[in-house]
Amino acid sequence: MTPKETVLAFVHAINAHDVDCLGELMTEDHTFVDPYGSEVAGCAQMLAGWRGYFEWFPDYQIEIREIFERESEFGMFGFAAGSFKGNSDRKWRLPAAWRAVVRDARIARWQVVADTKLPFESMSGS
């Protein structure tokens, strides 16, 4: 699989909420970086994180509109959308960007840049 195919497979696994596939596509030392710069290291920890996120937002989807590649690093721009616990009154959609680093046909680093105000407000019902 090419690095770009790896990234696109990871996006597909996110949109399918396929945690097992996400695990297969992550390096063991995978690092996730949230919009605040906090890092979660390790595939096992991130699998637990994805499971929890998909529970909160069972319809979470990302839409990649543009993708830029430099060797094994990717910048992606688009939108993220979901609703807290699937409640249609708590839907949100926002611009987002992602950075991915691929190593040995797996995602070594996944970074999200987005304003998290809407998702957090949907959780509180505000």
- Domains in the chain (CATH in brackets) are 3-124 (3.10.450.50)
Tens of pLDDT, residues 16-60: 999 999 999 999 999 999 999 999 999 999 999 999 999 999 999
Confidence of residue 61 (pLDDT cuts 50, 70, 90): very high
Q: What is the structure's pLDDT at 116?
A: 75
What are the two backbone dihedrals, phi and then psi, of residue 23, each rounded to the nearest 5 degrees? Answer: -60, -40
Spatial contact of 97 and 114, defined as CB atoms under 8 Å apart: yes
What are the two backbone dihedrals, phi and then psi, of residue 35, each rounded to the nearest 5 degrees? Answer: -60, -15
Distances (CA, A) of 72 to 4, 78, 79: 8, 20, 22
Tens of pLDDT, residues 64-113: 999 999 999 999 999 999 999 988 888 999 999 999 999 999 999 999 99
Model's pTM, two decimal places? 0.92
